[in-house]
């Protein structure tokens, strides 16, 4: 019995070490509020991305500059591939929601992009024939204009594109004027890149109050937070995030929080969620679809066609 117990303890220790090594290989290693490890495994370097996030990336060089990411054609935005629906009721501006209402649906959401991992994640979602919602920033991990082709790819694939502010501040600490600037500056980018203004936004850190919601209502936005946090931003290993989903019931009506700006989420957790949803017989849909809203009319206000990239497409 002692040998068996020792073997179990050793096995558990080995698995824990392996999980920690995996997390250290692609996980967070610094940033404001970060309390986890600040070093990476051999072959990876803790690389600054923003004040809020430093990530373990392969090699010793700095991550590829967003200015070197080819943006592709920027004047060929086509209609989203999601089938339009006329049924349902659009929620009013100023609404704050946390979970889905349509039975059998799940709205997987990804924050903080676009970034270098986002495109491949979209490929995984498209290959599986499922939809997700991307809450995008203007300038966090890179400049949104440098990833214009990725923004268009998400939109044209029928995923929902929504706002996550220009630079990811806590909106409850800002004046109404500053909240307005955070949203309207991002709106300008969406109008240029897609020819639409999103109607949905997610406040950074999920932070809202009555004053913030009042300002958002005046700007025509509906707000959403989440009812399940994958913990990817806080150093959860893949196994730890998976466990949070695996313990849910048959129809949890969740709007979970993930981050496509994180390599591990884009390459591992995101694709795994496709398998998880199918195993639960849940349909992965956009945010508006899981709330029973008509699409795309409840998702966007059309402002004209996508623009042609010029000297104003800078952050």
Catalytic residue positions?
A: 111, 259
* Angle of helix 176-193 versus helix 210-218 axis, rounded to 10: 40
Which residue has 């500059």 as its token pair? 65
84 CB neighbour count, 10 Å cutoff: 10
Contacts for 273 with CB less than 8 Å, ≥ 6 apart: 108, 245, 256, 258, 284
CA 98 to chain CA centroid, nearest Å? 15
- Residue 289 near residue 299 (C-beta atoms within 8 A): no
Nearest-5° angle of CA 105, CA 117, CA 274?
Answer: 25
Measured CA to CA, the distance from residue 87 to residue 92 in angstroms comes to 16
The torsion of the CA quartet 272, 205, 23, 258, rounded to 10 degrees, works out to 10
10 CB neighbour count, 10 Å cutoff: 10
């Amino acid at each position: 019995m002692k040998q068996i117990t020792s073997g179990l303890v050793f096995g558990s220790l080995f698995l824990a070490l392996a999980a920690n090594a995996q997390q250290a290989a692609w996980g967070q290693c610094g940033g404001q509020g970060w309390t986890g490890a600040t070093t990476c495994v051999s072959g990876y370097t803790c690389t600054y991305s923003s004040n809020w996030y430093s990530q373990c990336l392969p090699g010793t060089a700095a991550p590829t500059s967003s200015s070197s990411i080819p943006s592709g054609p920027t004047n060929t935005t086509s209609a989203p591939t999601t089938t339009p629906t006329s049924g349902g009721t659009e929620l009013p501006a100023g609404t704050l929601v946390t979970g889905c209402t349509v039975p059998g649906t799940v709205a997987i959401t990804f924050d903080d992009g676009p970034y270098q991992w986002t495109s491949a994640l979209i490929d995984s979602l498209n290959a599986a024939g499922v939809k997700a919602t991307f809450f995008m920033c203007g300038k966090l991990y890179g400049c949104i204009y440098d990833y214009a082709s990725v923004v268009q790819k998400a939109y044209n694939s029928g995923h929902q594109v929504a706002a996550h502010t220009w630079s990811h501040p806590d909106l409850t600490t800002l004046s109404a004027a500053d909240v307005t600037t955070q949203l309207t500056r991002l709106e300008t980018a969406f109008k240029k890149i897609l020819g639409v203004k999103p109607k949905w936004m997610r406040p950074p850190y999920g932070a809202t109050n009555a004053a913030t919601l009042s300002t958002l209502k005046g700007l025509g936005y509906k707000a959403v937070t989440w009812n399940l946090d994958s913990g990817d931003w806080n150093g959860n290993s893949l196994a730890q995030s998976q466990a949070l989903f695996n313990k849910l019931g048959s129809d949890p009506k969740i709007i979970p929080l993930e981050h496509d700006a994180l390599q591990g989420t884009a390459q591992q957790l995101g694709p795994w969620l496709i398998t998880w949803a199918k195993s639960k017989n849940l349909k992965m849909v956009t945010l508006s679809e899981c709330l029973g809203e008509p699409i795309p009319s409840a998702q966007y206000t059309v402002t004209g066609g996508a623009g042609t990239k010029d000297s104003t497409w800078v952050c």
